[in-house]
A = this chain, B = another copy of it.
């Protein structure tokens, strides 16, 4: 397929040098109106189809559409594509596509030295420079001398390509300039434009003129690479070898949660009720599910997070698989109602897509600073299982697992994602739904001997009895109660008994979850232990230093409550434990609270994921 375009390319200029690389990180950056997300997606999809591993991370402007041309108005898309397995979207880019001066200014500090820059020179006028806060034109002078800079009048070339289209305004034409950049980058990395052509055809099926203009500009960009003297090198990132065969697609963490919820509901043979209040970065789960009503998904946009949580409790009481998601301030608001769910012992999923805190904080940025909150942020002794997926794709399986635990143990469950996992994308090997294990979710309908808080011997779960079931009418609520009967009780022993029973029930989930797996030496000097979305950076860092010959083991916690049965044992086998996390040391504190260990902390609270090098450097420092 890749040949189609390549062969049709003219060979006016000297054949460019072909260079092979194992992986490349590109950043596309421009105004939020410049279509950078779409551009990045197209490049990524084509690379994935060609057999690269891919990992992407969007950098969407904070909150409001800021004035065009300014740094706050930038929309960025980072893609890492590789011929080996990828764990992150890359520490720093080697290629920057800067649609305006602000994009250059904001991204230059991160670019690898010697990296490639493509700039749209048409935007480097006085107005553009001023908006970006440049005193003088960075393209003139020595500032960029360490880089491989390609100055392309993208706007002009785009307009040229569309010159003869009648009735199309310049404004409309300019909207296509991302296609020019994309075509050019496709050429640079020796990628076919076919998939994107097909994408235009499907996406704009009802507007053939849009298909025409975009396709034309895309080709123009591609041919420009072919023709223009400025590009001397083409970079080739070969396909990955030995990838598991199957059908793949890319998934962000939030998309994976959407699919996971729908799958869990189908596997439990229940309708899905999803009650939520919009909040960044959780809103896309609501939006994703709202489009799937044909799966008997009932989405409810509540008046606030408290109402959302209340609706989920009601829906769980009445027998649906019920879920909600929120972030930061919203999770805090839900805490009172979550506690009611704990006491009512009803199954439901609460997703916390963590963002930078405290308070409103950094809504569009990532952080892992809500761990202790979800564990302890409710009045009284209120245990809740907490799961944290390590990667976007893992959100799919872990959502299902979380629902499975919720129903099996009759308890609300927290799924702790974060802004990075939510928005980052990576390839997902599409599973056969038939092979996913069903979730046993049986309502009790036999009134004989029924008591609202009678418990399963093994799991200590109480029976799920839903309104509409004859002969089993019962009333439950948030007051202190007697176990078994569920009657309101202020008796000292009743209170202590049910509190301890609930604690025991949740602790018992440790029998149901997998033990912690360690990669690397089974005992020794150092174990690097992470949790949640820092998985990729930690894994890559550890593999890097292992490659340097350092003896390091690695493990990743996906179950934060209860902790895996073998965790204490694992911790005991290493002289030192390093815990990297995007907070001031919450898992570290948790481990020390539970086990007789002291851990070394690596903390970062910058609204950003770890870079691989930050973790690798710390490991080297510890082992030095």
Contacts and interface: CB of A to CB of B under 8 A. Distances in A.
Nearest to A328: B379
Interface in A539-555: none
17 contacts: A332-B339, A332-B379, A335-B335, A339-B359, A356-B480, A358-B382, A361-B380, A362-B495, A372-B376, A373-B378, A376-B376, A376-B377, A480-B607, A492-B606, A495-B605, A495-B607, A500-B584
A496 interface: yes
Contact of A339 (B354, B358, B362, B372): B358
Interface string A581-624: 00110000110111010100000111110000000000000000
Q: Which of A340, A362, A604 has the most CB of B within 10 A?
A: A362
Interface residues of A, number: 62
A472 interface: no
A594 B335 CA distance: 26
Given A332-B335, A339-B329, A379-B331, A361 B479 contact: yes
Contact of A477 (B360, B365, B375, B606): B360
Nearest to A499: B605
A307 interface: no
Contacts of A357: 339, 378-382
Contacts of A340: 359-360
Given A332-B378, A343-B360, A381-B583, 15 more contacts: A328-B379, A329-B336, A329-B339, A329-B478, A332-B339, A339-B358, A343-B358, A358-B382, A359-B380, A362-B495, A370-B379, A373-B376, A490-B607, A590-B593, A596-B596
A417 to B, nearest CB: 14
A441 interface: no
Contacts of A373: 376-379
Contacts of A377: 332, 335, 373, 376-378
A342 interface: yes
Contacts of A335: 332-333, 335, 377
A6 interface: no
Contacts of A329: 336, 339, 379, 478
Contacts of A490: 62, 362, 364-365, 607
Given A373-B376, A490-B362, A492-B606, A333 B331 contact: no
